[in-house]
Amino acid sequence: MSATFRDDVYGAYWELAAERQRIFYRRLADNPSPWTEDRVLREYRFCNAFRASDRVSQYLIRHVIYADDDIRPEDLLLRIVLFRLFSRPRTWELLKAEVALRADSFDPVRLGDLLDAELAAGEAIYTNAFILAATATFGHRRKHRNHLALVELMLRDRLGRSIASVESLSGLYELLLGYPMIGPFMAYQLAIDINYSELVDFDESSFTMPGPGALRGIRKVFADPGVATPSELILWVTENQERDLERLGIDMPTLWGRRLQAIDCQNLFCELDKYARVKFPHLRSERVRIKQRFAPAGRPPAPFYPPKWSINERIGAAARAPAAGAIAPLRAT
């Protein structure tokens, strides 16, 4: 590859990935805080190294995708899309408690009324993790009613039937991207969410699409990308992770044997963008501060991953006490 990277920032990318995964394991083992000597990671909030380990993804996997063993594919697809558009467990719980979320009885008017009442009570209904377009594509004044109309359109189009004929993760992405209000970032996130389910089973490292934060991180890592696109750079980093970790002398813990996938490396570029605001302030972008402080909410529950990954059975007691050697020593930074 003709691209050139900044050695110190690229090293920090992998140190961040490894130390964030060590923190994840230490918290699961109920080790006392602080869980790291890295002052940036102690002070600010960062996503997990593996996307599927993050709180919202865990909720989606456990309570939306695999909550019911007897569910029709079209109903499962509806629930995945509906959850991700809001990405807020409280919103999901509100809707699920009031309405049977089924494709053949989807009622955007009633759901819209429920969300109107939630907003009137001063409650947020969307995550603040990313911003969704607030367009009136379907003629509604309020964003959530347009999103509900979008879901209704997907059901009318028999999206589930179209997904069944898709042959790749990139094909799934392109299918989702064809819908109004679904930009590149959301199409990719939705494709990964659907891929967590049994509806499809594609290689997560066969395709990637960087979001705005990842693009900022890529610009900080690569001094000259050459002719490579941002997606190609992420795939290159994913493919060469073991080689570069060994070269840098970094012990990167796996996810119980699962290596980082392209979606994880994409996310890590976004986290590197935040990390670099403190560690490499001379690499300026339109974002100069890290907004969210780290505030642990106690010991996290034992994680649950898509069963088709075949790693849940490896967790067991290891979620409380990872095997010797699974966690590298702390590294002062």
Residue 265 lies in a domain: yes
pTM confidence score: 0.92
Residue 330 has pLDDT above 90, yes or no: no
What does the pLDDT read at residue 290?
74
Residue 329 has pLDDT above 70, yes or no: no
Residue 327 lies in a domain: no
The region that residue 250 occupies, defined by phi over 0 for left and psi between -120 and 50 for alpha, beta otherwise, is beta
Residue scoring higher pLDDT (39 or 288):
39
Span 70-110, pLDDT tens digits: 899 999 999 999 999 999 999 999 999 999 899 999 999 99
Question: Where a domain ends, among 137, 172, 196?
Answer: 196
What does the pLDDT read at residue 68?
87
Residue 317 lies in a domain: no
- Find, among 208, 221, 215, the residue nearest to 287 by Cα: 215
What does the pLDDT read at residue 82?
97
Residue 238 has pLDDT above 70, yes or no: yes
Residue scoring higher pLDDT (288 or 23):
23
Cα 174 to Cα 167: distance, rounded to the nearest angstrom = 11
Cα 32 to Cα 26: distance, rounded to the nearest angstrom = 8
What does the pLDDT read at residue 69?
83
Regarding whether 189 and 103 lie in a shared domain, the answer is yes
Sequence-distant (6+) residues with CB within 8 A of 139 are 146
Residue 301 has pLDDT above 80, yes or no: yes
What does the pLDDT read at residue 131?
61
Mean pLDDT of the chain: 91
Regarding whether 178 and 98 lie in a shared domain, the answer is yes
| Residues spanned by the domain of 32 | 4-53+207-293+300-306
Regarding whether 191 and 75 lie in a shared domain, the answer is yes
Regarding whether 230 and 288 lie in a shared domain, the answer is yes
Peptide bond into 34 cis (omega under 30): yes
Question: Which pLDDT band holds residue 128 (cuts at 50, 70, 90)?
Answer: confident
Residue 325 lies in a domain: no
Q: How far is CA 26 from CA 44, 57, 258, 300, in A?
A: 17, 20, 18, 10
Percent of the chain with pLDDT over 90: 82
Regarding whether 72 and 49 lie in a shared domain, the answer is no
Regarding whether 250 and 287 lie in a shared domain, the answer is yes
Task: Report, as an integer, the average pLDDT of 10-35.
Answer: 95
What does the pLDDT read at residue 323?
38
Q: Are 302 and 321 in contact (CB under 8 A)?
A: no
Regarding whether 280 and 172 lie in a shared domain, the answer is no
Residue 225 has pLDDT above 80, yes or no: yes
Question: Where a domain ends, among 147, 165, 196?
Answer: 196
Residue 88 lies in a domain: yes
The DSSP-derived string for 208-256 is ----HHHHHHHHHHEEE-TT--HHHHHHHHHHTHHHHHHHHT-----BT
Span 256-270, pLDDT tens digits: 999 999 999 999 999
Question: Where a domain ends, among 133, 168, 196?
Answer: 196
Task: Report, as an integer, the average pLDDT of 143-164.
Answer: 96
Percent of the chain with pLDDT over 70: 92
**What total number of domains does the chain contain?**
2
Residue 36 has pLDDT above 70, yes or no: yes
Of 130-139, 258-267, 274-283, give the lowest mean pLDDT range. Answer: 130-139
Residue 318 has pLDDT above 70, yes or no: no
Residue 331 lies in a domain: no
Residue 311 lies in a domain: no
Of 47-56, 59-68, 233-242, 317-326, give the lowest mean pLDDT range. Answer: 317-326
Span 161-211, pLDDT tens digits: 999 999 999 999 999 999 999 999 999 999 999 999 999 999 999 999 999
What does the pLDDT read at residue 211?
95
Regarding whether 132 and 224 lie in a shared domain, the answer is no
Cα 83 to Cα 77: distance, rounded to the nearest angstrom = 10
Residue 46 has pLDDT above 60, yes or no: yes
Residue 169 lies in a domain: yes
Regarding whether 124 and 95 lie in a shared domain, the answer is yes
What does the pLDDT read at residue 322?
43
Regarding whether 238 and 144 lie in a shared domain, the answer is no
Regarding whether 189 and 139 lie in a shared domain, the answer is yes
Provide the 3-class DSSP secondary structure of residue 67: coil
Tokens 């009324």 appear where?
Answer: 113
Regarding whether 242 and 187 lie in a shared domain, the answer is no
